Amino acid sequence: MRSACLAHLRSRVAEPLEPPRDWTRAGALVCNCAHCSELSHFLSDPESQVWTFKAAESKRRHVEDSIRRSHCDLDLSTHRQGRPYSLVCTKNQASYERRVQQRKKDLKDLARLQS
């Protein structure tokens, strides 16, 4: 069991770890509606960091649900000026930051198992 854990940790620690080079973000959206297609296009755009989706609440909620189900690296806020309100999606580095934390834990666990 120990050798299997060591092999797994060594393999994971050997994987490259670097922050995103541009604003492209992964996002395998399940929905293919027009609004989610816009979101998908935004996620794949290396230049865009912010997308504003101005729509009725039900459509904004649908896009928010798609984002959460797909675990997209986006911060969400609602801009409540004018009607309809706008959903503001800002790309972040959440996946990378989770991998950084996992790497720290893996290195600590690896050191403990090797001693």
pLDDT tens across 27-59, in order? 789 899 999 999 999 999 999 999 999 999 999
82-112: per-residue pLDDT in tens? 999 999 999 999 999 999 999 999 999 999 9
Q: CA 99 to CA 101: how far, in whole Å?
A: 5
Q: How far apart are CA 2 and CA 37, in angstroms?
A: 46
Q: For position 99, what pLDDT does the model report?
A: 94
Pairing between β-strand 74-79 and β-strand 50-54 as defined by DSSP bridges = unpaired
Band the pLDDT of 79: cuts 50, 70, 90. Answer: very high
Find residue 53's DSSP bridge partners. 87
Label residue 11 left, alpha or beta by phi (over 0 means left) and psi (-120 to 50 means alpha): alpha
pTM: 0.83
Residue-range definition of the domain harbouring residue 87: 2-114
* Residue 100 one-letter amino acid: V
Considering its fold, how many domains does the chain have in total?
Answer: 1
